[in-house]
């Protein structure tokens, strides 16, 4: 079991470009969560998805950010027209259904740097 796979590990984008972050959940996990970690901060919840559905996007900025978890393939977090303030580590976690009581498995993250 390869665990939660995120790629790329590091991503550098110029201001105004688009950033695409990918997350493949653990085998058998149908729930995906995205968190953002700013420097010297704890993780902040962004969005919770199940296959083909966004369950809760309350932590995601209304503009420029979108997320999807298609029937086939990884979950994608897309940031359009990136700005310097988007520089952060983005972590994905996955779980089977009803795993809130057991803890989450996180990927190693994508470190986005906007220059």
Partner 1 sequence: SQQGEEDPQALSIQEGENATMNCSYKTSINNLQWYRQNSGRGLVHLILIRSNEREKHSGRLRVTLDTSKKSSSLLITASRAADTASYFCATDSAGGSNYKLTFGKGTLLTVNP
Q: Is residue 65 within the footprint of partner 1 (CB under 8 A)? A: no
What letter would DSSP give residue 24?
E
Among the listed residues 12, 15, 18, 41, the single contact to partner 1 using CB under 8 A: 41
Q: Is residue 48 within the footprint of partner 1 (CB under 8 A)? A: yes
Q: Within 13 Å, how many C-alpha atoms sit on residue 14's CB side?
A: 0
Whether the CB-CB separation of 107 and 92 falls below 8 Å is answered with yes
> How many residues at the interface with partner 1, by CB under 8 A?
29
Token match 């952060």: residue? 88
Per-residue string for binding with partner 1, 68-97, x by CB under 8 A?
-----------------------x-x-x--
């Amino acid at each position: 079991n390869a665990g939660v796979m995120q790629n790329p590990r590091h991503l550098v984008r110029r201001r105004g470009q688009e950033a695409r972050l990918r997350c493949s959940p653990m085998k058998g996990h149908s729930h995906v969560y995205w968190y953002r970690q700013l420097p010297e901060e704890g993780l902040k919840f962004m969005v919770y998805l199940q296959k083909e559905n966004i369950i809760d996007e309350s932590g995601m900025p209304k503009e420029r950010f979108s997320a999807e978890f298609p029937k086939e393939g990884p979950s994608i977090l897309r940031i359009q027209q990136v700005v310097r303030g988007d520089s952060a580590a983005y972590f994905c976690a996955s779980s089977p259904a009803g795993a809130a009581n057991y803890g989450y498995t996180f990927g190693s993250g994508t470190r986005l740097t906007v220059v």
